[in-house]
Amino acid sequence: MVVNVAAFIASLDGAAPAPDLNAPLAGLWWAGKGDWDQAHKIVQDESSREAAWVHAYLHRVEGDLGNAGYWYRQAGQPAAKDSLEAEWQRIAVTLLGSTT
């Protein structure tokens, strides 16, 4: 899993995410690049718990804590209490661990 996360982080140097990334990981990839609009577009129509978690994270980054709370509940996740960077890492580790 550590190798997967390292490869995922290294992929942020690219111009686009790998084509085989699922929507939550692609959204997280765009968030890692700082393109919040593209990240939102990718996860907003997904109904998975993982997409809801990424959506919650995006709202948290933007300071929209009301919507973040809604999406955390949809994801079945507790509201994050760690730093934004630590949460991004935790989401990446979880999502990459579920794809192996």
Q: What is the pLDDT of residues 15-40, one digit of tens each?
A: 888 888 899 999 999 998 899 999 99
Structure tokens at 90: 């935790």
Euclidean distance between CA atoms 29 and 39, whole angstroms:
8
pTM equals 0.85
Q: pLDDT band at residue 2, thresholds of 50, 70 and 90?
A: very low
CA 81 to chain centre: 16
Q: Is 97 helix (H, G, I), strand (E, B) or coil?
A: helix
Residue 61 contacts residue 31 (beta carbons within 8 Å):
yes
How large a percentage of the chain has pLDDT more than 90?
52
